[in-house]
Amino acid sequence: MKPSASRFSKLSLFTLALIALSGCAKKGEIDDTGGVVAVRSACPTAAIAVMTGDVTLFNPESSRAASAIDAVANITNLRSTCSEAGGQYYTEATFDVQARRTRSDGPREVVLPYYSVVVRGGDNVVSKRIGQIRLSFADGQDRATVSAKAASYVDKAAATLPSDIEAKLRERRKEGDTNAAVDPLANPDVRAAIKRTSFELLVGFNLTQDQLRYNATR
């Protein structure tokens, strides 16, 4: 199932500006020119996609009664690293999947599909990968945890603001100047450039339509 772009986590334009103005894996400081403060990385931001961070299994599968819940799992402890090489940003995200089953008798393996997508500008899916998570419950245990990872490559050129747009964001503004009170993000060209150069690496369970509907309505 292809996740809907409308369900992806959204970044504010101000946050996107901070991302676009900083380099990979650098902690920003106040810009001494009076421009925008850069505090985020230009690497894709790793996040758990909205409404797909957990999954509920039922037995029987068609039931949605609380008494029919067979197992539940959620994605947590998401962490990411970023490196730059060969003109690309490489982001690797690691995360844990924690699961709980209702009945603990006997050993059991549960296989859950998950996806990772690279999203550009908040709504354009650039790439998608599907993987599987295997959770093993020992006899008598009702909880299981496993770690997984996802990765992405993004061209540095695609994630870098044009020099003229960056200049507008970093332009020094002094009190009394005619442009002192003008927000550069009000410029549609600036807003479009920030959106175009912003990427996210999102992960989630590859839910069926019924599972997604359950998550949305419970």
Share of the chain above pLDDT 70, in %: 71
pTM value?
Answer: 0.74
With residues binned 3-state (H G I as helix, E B as strand, rest as coil), the percentages for the chain, rounded to 5, are: 20, 40, 40
Three-class SS of 87-124: CEEEEEEEEEEEEEECCCCCCEEEEEEEEEEEEECCCE
Task: Tell me the per-residue pLDDT of 56-114, one tens digit each, with 9 for 90 and over.
Answer: 999 999 999 999 999 999 999 999 998 988 899 999 999 999 999 999 999 999 999 99
The pLDDT tens digits of the residues spanning 126-184 come to 899 999 999 999 999 999 999 999 999 998 888 877 777 666 666 666 665 655 555 66
Q: Which residue has the tokens 């690797």?
A: 92
Percentage of the chain surpassing pLDDT 90?
51
* Cβ-based neighbours of 8, under 8 Å, separated by 6 or more: 49, 50, 119, 122, 123, 200, 202
